[in-house]
Amino acid sequence: MQTRSVALTAESASASEFRLDGKLAVVTGGGSGIGRAIAIKFAANGADVRILDTNLKGAELTTQEIVQSGGRASSYACEVSDQAKTKATFSQISTQARIHILINNAGVSHIGNVESTTEEDFDRILRVNVKGIYNCILACVGHMKASGGGVVLNMASIAGSAGLAERFAYSTSKGAVIAMTYSVARDYVAHNIRCNCISPARVHTPFVDGYLAKNYPGREKEMYDKLAKTQPIGRMGEPDEVASLALFLCSDAASFITGVDYPLDGGFMNLHG
């Protein structure tokens, strides 16, 4: 049985307990949106960040921003749905340094019900959102076991546990992410590996702006306001707010937390209706 006893002092009660000094964090999908915010937040709090993205240019821009601010980061082109390439990327990273934190953020979205979702659409969503996370955990968990532990944080969604209209494939994939989180947490708790997930509601990212421009040209502001108000708090979340929760869950301050799905939803799940 492991015990952790820390005397609370004015010094230990400071926010320094959320810092990630000496930790290496891998962030998938770190070239934009929530992943970018997490990479920047983690680097600003001492982590050495490895950014994986299919869009290498986006990953490199995030890396450049971090380095110019005095942080440490590097970028890799990686398609997480490809197991061989994912394993090769993680092998390259792990030979350089110990991986302490894995952020499974890379994912794709889809709009449609079961009838309007093609087999190709369904396969694509599961390949990236479910198999991609499986591939990354598979490529990393053995290294974490051998190195004394680590933290895995998966990006889920309230769509995985709430009935959202026209989100059939996406909701299916995020429900799987939540279940995977519980399973990994159970299987690896004895190896000092914690696994949690965050389930955001709508977050204002470039994806949202692109979706509105494509589907509601000329009505972007009107539809943005409508979507924002579906959260009881009256607005969308910001990527930096997701990053702040991620920072806490991956820090030593959260060392007693594993196997938990955290809604970050402006009251959507409990106050809606």
Active site members? 170
Tokens of 26: 């891998």
198's enclosing H/E stretch is strand 193-200
CA end-to-end span of the chain: 45
Which of 24, 161, 43 shows the shortest CA–CA distance to 100? 24
The CA-based dihedral angle spanning residues 21, 26, 28, 29, taken in that order and rounded to the nearest 10 degrees? 40
The CA–CA distances, whole Å, from 68 to 27, 46, 72 equal: 19, 14, 9
* E strand residue ranges, 3-141: 24-28, 48-53, 72-77, 101-104
